[in-house]
Amino acid sequence: MIKRIKKINYTSWLFILPAILVIVSLLLYPVLSSVVYSFTSKHLTRPVSTFVGLQNYKKILADEQFYKAFFMSIKWTVASIGGQVILGFILAMLLNSIKIGKKMFRVLLIVPWAFPVVVIAVIWKFLLNGVYGFIPTMLVNLGLTDTLPQFLSSGTLVFPTILFVNLWFGTPMIMVNILSALQTIPEEQYEAAKMDGASTWQTFVSVTIPHISKVVGLLVILRTIWVFTNFDMVYLLTGGGPANVTMTLPIYAYKMGWGLKLLGKSSAITIIMLIFLLIVCSIYFYYSDKKEKENV
């Protein structure tokens, strides 16, 4: 249990006041307006709208496409986050354990993070193009396949391909954060473990893991939400195709809100997403709180 250094007083409030101001002023209105829209026939460009009750929700929950997109979103998020964490963790451990060239590798490895999504889509589509793309032609030249692989247009290859791009893009951020967490572990803790005669593995389990788990946990939650609600990466790479196999919930909502201009309906989709994510987060918090209590 963390003991409070001093009683709560005004100086303590000053620390958190600016953040509260930002949040309240910037998020209350947008969030509330989305909730309100979801119960109306709000149209993107028409000025008038009427209250329709639960109509929007009913229609969406009756749409088969919604469930497909939902499932796809879950698959996409779980695979992306799982892959990014595993790869990011391995790379961070590797970086932390080497002496020479550490800085250089660290910079090289986070380069993908610097890419705006527009550029990601343009360059990967160019490199993966099934006619002239560098990667398919290289695979053929190396004798690995006979025909040019259709990375973005084959129903079976498209998911692994966009997943690869997302791992390429997202791993650096996880890596940097894990690395930062590793670097905040005080040297004494390792020394203490050594003195107790712990093996490398034991040190890893008893010192490293507990120390970084907090940051990694928070990061995973954040990235999960981000990937789940992210729209442009998949949209720009595949547009949800071929034959809707990569249609995620945000793309579905986008098509509703901007394609059909049915802002009411797309707000309802967002609210459903919000509720789902809240449930996921609550489960996570429940278990992390429980674990914390056990540790005390």
Partner 1 sequence: MRKLFKKKMLVWGFALLASIFLISACGGKDKKDEATVDGELNGEITFWHSFTQGPRMESIQKSAEDFEKEHPGVKIKIESFSWDDFYQKWTTGLASNNVPDMSTALPNHVVEMIDSGAVVPLNDLIDSIGRNRFSEMSIGEGHVDGNDYSIPLYSHAQVMWIRKDLLEENNLEIPETWDEFAKAAEILTKDGVYGASFPTGSNDFLGTRYLNYYVRSHGESLLTDDLKANITSDAAIEGIKFWVDIYEKASPKDSISYNVLDQATLYYQGKTAFDFNSGFQIAGVEANSPDLLEYIDAAPIPKVNKDDEELGIETANIPMVVWENSEHPEVCKAFIEYLFEKDRYIEFLSATPVGMLPSLNDISEEPAYKENKIVKQFSHAEKVISDAVAKGTAIGYEHGPSVQAGLLVSQGIIESMFQDIITNDVQVEKAAKAAEEELNEIFSSVEQ
Partner 2 sequence: MRKKLSVRTIIKYLTLILASIVAVFPLLWIILSAFKGPGEINQYPTNILPKQWTFDNFRYVLSELNFGNYIVNSLVIALATTFVAVTISALAAYGVVRFFPRVGKALTRLLITTYMFPPILLAIPYSVIIGALGLVNTRIGLIIVYLSFSVPYAVWLLVGFFETVPLGIEEAARIDGANKLQVFIQVVLPIVAPGIVATAIYTFINAWNEFLYSLILINSTEKMTIAVALRALENQEILDWGQMMAASSLVVLPSVIFFVFIQNKISSGLAEGATK
Cα dist from 174 to 39, 110, 211, 224, 293, whole Å: 38, 10, 15, 12, 27
**Which residues lie below 8 Å from residue 111, measured CB to CB, with a gap of 6+?**
172
What x-and-dash track marks residues 236-275 binding partner 2 by CB under 8 A?
--------------x--xx--xx----x--xx--x--xx-
CA 254 to chain centre: 18
SS3 call for 40: strand
**Which residues lie below 8 Å from residue 74, measured CB to CB, with a gap of 6+?**
none
Q: Which of positions 121-150 make contact with partner 2 (CB under 8 A)?
A: 122-124, 127, 132, 134, 137
Q: Which of positions 173-232 make contact with partner 2 (CB under 8 A)?
A: 173, 176-177, 179-181, 183-187, 211, 214-215, 217-219, 221-222, 225-226, 229-231
Q: Is 260 in the site for partner 1 (CB under 8 A)?
A: yes
Burial grade of 15 (CB within 10 A; 0-12, 13-18, 19 or more) = exposed
CA angle 37-230-31, nearest 5°?
A: 30
Interface region with partner 2, contact rule CB under 8 A, candidates 2-10, 57-65, 146-154, 191-199: 2-10
Among 77, 238, 267, 270, binds partner 1 (CB under 8 A): 238
CA angle 34-38-42, nearest 5°?
A: 90
Q: How far is the CB of 158 from partner 2 (least distance, A)?
A: 19
Q: Which of positions 38-57 make contact with partner 1 (CB under 8 A)?
A: 43-47
Nearer to partner 2, 29 or 155 (CB): 29
> Which of the choices partner 1, partner 2, none does residue 75 contact, using the CB cut-off of 5 to 8 A by kind?
none
Q: Is 29 in the site for partner 1 (CB under 8 A)?
A: yes
